[in-house]
């Protein structure tokens, strides 16, 4: 080998070595950059890749009736989810065959999911049956981007609706989930009824778990650092005061009518049944929202979402008369012996008609036959003696005109006017006796909800105790600890037993000899009650009947309110009476009344009500 050649060889070797060493150093530098300089970035990426944070929804608390019957529970719904960015479109035929649908369906849904978000997971199919769900689960490994999810929806195992008691769930709106760390987008929360009132108890606490996932998105069990996660706390169960049997019967009677019924234990305020009709089917609002149904109940002119039992404000009509009697006795304006002569009308500025038979009326008889004259003259004296504000205060002690502390939202306070109210309403000195007088017969500006009438009736029945109406008697937390709710029962201090005895006699008379004698009298039971009419300027009057039994040791108060029903004695009275009979005897002996109620149609206003032009006609019931 020539020296020149060997020289060139050496140079070439050096050149090649320099090239290879420098290129290798570039590679080494690159590796150093990735592993040492950028370690934090890629460590986080790696972690993100293989660990998935998942929220675990707590099971929502259940709702039981007073006897332990389950009324609201949870039902699992199975969903298939998709993350479009990870999805392989070539898997569409496989997915279609697993789901048993046509390829075009999958294509359309994938497109929809892509439009929502390319990277976020959304639901591809919801509420699929368990068999398909399992099939997808087994094949998840060959379906990148497809996931599965078990959610739950409310389920109502009994055949009661109780929609206005239980309420429904809807997705939380933006301000709700932004103000609560426990809520996420898409979470459902109670929007009405007990679901709303007891949301915090029912909801439970959100759990978090960290899952190891592989490149195919398959879950591989819990991440090692389990302490990072949080076990969900199951929501507390509610033990309600509702009696499923009675609720069911009440709903049956109210079907096809417009109105409300409140059934209450007069000694505690526990509500045994509460129905507002028309109602809605909350099971249709559970799970996937049936938009058509939701719109239809919202648009319905009969307002099925409206809870008439607690929100409706109606003049109590003659149901108010017993309370007037108690106040009259307390104020000393009348005694049990005081007699007022009914000449067929009470004349004071104008004639107020009285349809009760002409004659002398003491308090008992005035209640029994609902004489207007007696109570108009009583109100006249209260007003002229300047005791209007005192009267208002005494009425409010019975739960009228004040907010009731019931565990449902949207309960109305009703209106029991005093001078301040009238000054605001009409202007100072712009109102007079004429505006006040018909308060005595439960008409005019005064108004109350069926619930308030039930509370008032309870106080008369139970010896003058004001109860707090409530629907939940106990809450049982996830550890099984039961906290009982003991709503206050407060004695109304000024009410004396003798006042009540007198009024009760009158209310007993309503059922035995007054307007309630046909439909409200139950053989072998000492029932008391009072009918009433809420005047309705827009159509047929609304009927009231409030009743309690047995008269001495009352166990039940029923207040029924039927809209556009005409005479309360044939509309509201039989409903309330049947519920009382059912509760106290366990059966219905008066089948003909049951048939009457089921087939009841409000009578035509023009044919029946000849005296609608006279303010107080129907109030005589």
* Contact set with other proteins (CB under 8 A): 1, 8-10, 12-13, 15-17, 20-21, 23-24, 26-28, 30-32, 34-36, 38-39, 41-43, 45-47, 49-50, 85-86, 141, 212-216, 218, 220
Residue 565 φ/ψ region, left for φ over 0, alpha for ψ in the -120 to 50 degree band, beta for the rest: alpha
As a whole number of angstroms, the distance between CA 369 and CA 349 comes to: 24
How do strand 219-222 and strand 556-562 relate by DSSP bridges? unpaired
Closer to other proteins by Cβ: residue 46 or 186: 46
Q: Work out how close the CB of 110 gets to other proteins at its nearest, in angstroms, rounded to a whole number.
A: 14
Residue among 551, 591, 592, 600 at smallest CA distance from 572: 600
* Cβ at position 12, least distance to other proteins in Å: 6
* Shortest distance (Å) from residue 144 CB to other proteins: 9
Shortest gap between Cβ of 34 and other proteins (angstroms)? 4
Q: Least distance to other proteins from the beta carbon of 119, Å? A: 9
Q: Which of 451, 469, 473, 480 is nearest to 64 (CA)?
A: 473
Smallest gap from Cβ 37 to other proteins, in A, equals 9
**Which backbone phi and psi does 240 adopt, to 5 degrees?**
-90, 175
Q: How far is the CB of 215 from other proteins (least distance, A)?
A: 4
Rounded to whole angstroms, the maximal C-alpha distance in the chain is 153
E strands of 330-395, at which residues? 340-342, 345-348, 350-353, 359-361
Say how many C-beta atoms besides its own lie within 10 A of residue 271's C-beta: 30
Give the residue with the Cβ less far from other proteins, 20 or 228: 20
Looking at beta carbons only, is 27 or 299 nearer to other proteins?
Answer: 27
Looking at the chain, the number of H-run helices and the number of E-run strands are 23, 23
Looking at residue 278, the DSSP 8-state letter turns out to be S
Nearest alpha-carbon partner for 615 in 443, 394, 472: 443
Q: What angle do CA 468, 66, 479 make, to 5 degrees?
A: 100
Q: How far is the CB of 50 from other proteins (least distance, A)?
A: 4
| Exposed / middle / buried, residue 218 (Cβ in 10 Å: 0-12, 13-18, 19+) | middle
Of residues 33 and 293, the one with the C-beta less far from other proteins: 33
Nearer to other proteins, 92 or 474 (CB): 92
Q: Determine contact, residues 277/254, Cβ cutoff 8 Å.
A: yes
Identity of the residue, 220 or 231, whose beta carbon is nearer to other proteins in the bound complex: 220
Closest Cα to residue 261, out of 583, 505, 510, 540? 583
CB of 89 to other proteins, least distance (A): 11
Compute the C-alpha angle 263/416/318, nearest 5°.
55
Nearer to other proteins, 138 or 604 (CB): 138
Question: Nearer Cβ to other proteins, position 38 or 498?
Answer: 38
Nearer to other proteins, 40 or 479 (CB): 40
Q: What is the nearest approach in angstroms of other proteins to the Cβ of residue 208?
A: 20
**In whole angstroms, how close is the CB of 304 to other proteins at the nearest point?**
48
Query: Residue 21 or 488: which CB sits closer to other proteins?
Result: 21
CA angle 71, 77, 82 (to 5 degrees): 155
Q: Which of 531, 602, 604, 603 is nearest to 568 (CA)?
A: 531
The distance of closest approach from Cβ of residue 220 to other proteins in the complex, given in angstroms and rounded to an integer, is: 7
* DSSP three-state, residue 435: helix
Residue 76 phi, psi dihedral angles, 5° rounding: -70, 140
DSSP-derived 3-state class of residue 554 = coil
| Closest to 324 (Cα-Cα) out of 154, 81, 532 | 532
Between 223 and 567, CB nearer to other proteins: 223
Whether the link from the prior residue into 542 is cis, omega within 30° of 0, is: no
Report the alpha-carbon distance of residue 453 to residue 502 in Å, rounded.
19
Tell me the CA distances in angstroms from 247 to 57, 252, 270, one per residue in order: 31, 9, 13
For other proteins, the closer CB: 211 or 333: 211
């Amino acid at each position: 080998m020539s020296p020149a050649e060997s020289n060139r060889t050496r140079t070439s070797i050096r050149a090649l070595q320099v090239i290879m060493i420098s290129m290798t150093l570039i590679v080494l530098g690159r590796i150093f950059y990735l592993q040492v300089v950028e370690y934090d970035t890629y460590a986080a990426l790696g972690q993100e890749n293989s660990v998935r944070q998942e929220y675990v929804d707590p099971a929502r608390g259940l709702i039981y009736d007073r006897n332990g019957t389950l009324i609201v529970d949870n039902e699992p719904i199975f969903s298939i989810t998709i993350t479009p960015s990870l999805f392989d479109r070539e898997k569409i035929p496989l997915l279609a065959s697993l789901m048993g649908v046509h390829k075009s369906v999958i294509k359309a849904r994938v497109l929809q999911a892509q439009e929502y978000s390319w990277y976020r997971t959304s639901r591809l199919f919801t509420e699929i049956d368990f068999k398909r769900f399992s099939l997808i689960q087994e094949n998840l490994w060959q379906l990148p981007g497809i996931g599965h999810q078990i959610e739950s929806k409310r389920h109502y195992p009994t055949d009661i609706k109780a929609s206005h008691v239980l309420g429904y769930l809807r997705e939380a709106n933006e301000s709700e989930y932004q103000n609560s760390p426990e809520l996420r987008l898409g979470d459902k929360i109670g929007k009405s009824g007990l679901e709303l009132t007891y949301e915090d108890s029912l909801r439970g606490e959100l759990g978090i778990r960290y899952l190891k996932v592989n490149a195919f998105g398959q879950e591989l069990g819990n991440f090692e650092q389990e302490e990072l996660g949080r076990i969900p706390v199951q929501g507390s169960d509610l033990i309600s005061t509702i009696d499923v049997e009675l609720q069911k019967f009440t709903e049956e009677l109210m079907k096809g009518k417009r109105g409300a019924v409140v059934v209450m234990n007069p000694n505690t305020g526990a509500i045994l049944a509460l129905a507002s009709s028309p109602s809605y089917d909350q099971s249709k609002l559970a799970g996937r929202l049936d938009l058509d149904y939701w719109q239809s109940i919202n648009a319905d002119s009969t307002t099925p979402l409206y809870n008439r039992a607690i929100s409706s404000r109606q003049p109590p009509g003659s149901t108010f008369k017993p309370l007037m009697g108690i106040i009259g006795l307390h104020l000393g304006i009348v005694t049990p012996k005081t007699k007022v002569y009914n000449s067929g009308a009470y004349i004071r500025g104008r004639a107020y008609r009285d349809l009760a038979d002409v004659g002398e009326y003491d308090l008992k008889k005035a209640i029994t036959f609902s004489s207007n004259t007696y109570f108009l003259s009583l109100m006249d004296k209260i007003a002229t003696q300047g005791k209007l504000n005192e009267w208002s205060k005494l009425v409010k002690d019975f739960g009228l005109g004040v907010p009731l502390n019931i565990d449902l939202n949207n309960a109305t306070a009703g209106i029991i006017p005093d001078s301040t109210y009238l000054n605001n309403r009409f202007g100072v000195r712009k109102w007079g006796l004429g505006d006040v007088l018909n308060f005595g017969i439960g008409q005019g500006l005064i108004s109350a909800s069926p619930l308030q009438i039930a509370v008032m009736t309870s106080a008369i029945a139970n010896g003058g105790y004001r109860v707090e109406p409530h629907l939940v008697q106990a809450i049982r937390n996830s550890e099984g600890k039961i906290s009982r709710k003991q709503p206050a029962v407060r004695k109304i201090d000024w009410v004396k037993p003798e006042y009540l005895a007198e009024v009760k006699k009158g209310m007993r008379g309503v059922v035995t000899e007054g307007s309630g004698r046909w439909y409200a009298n139950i053989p072998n039971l000492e029932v008391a009650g009072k009918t009433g009419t809420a005047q309705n300027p827009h159509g047929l009057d609304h009927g009231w009947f409030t009743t309690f039994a047995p008269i001495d040791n009352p166990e039940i108060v029923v207040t029924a309110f039927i809209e556009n029903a005409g005479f309360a004695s044939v509309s509201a009275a039989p409903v309330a009476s049947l519920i009382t009979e059912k509760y106290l005897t366990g059966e219905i002996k008066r089948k003909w009344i049951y048939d009457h109620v089921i087939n009841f149609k409000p009578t035509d206003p023009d044919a029946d009500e000849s005296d609608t032009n006279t303010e107080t006609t129907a109030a005589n019931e």
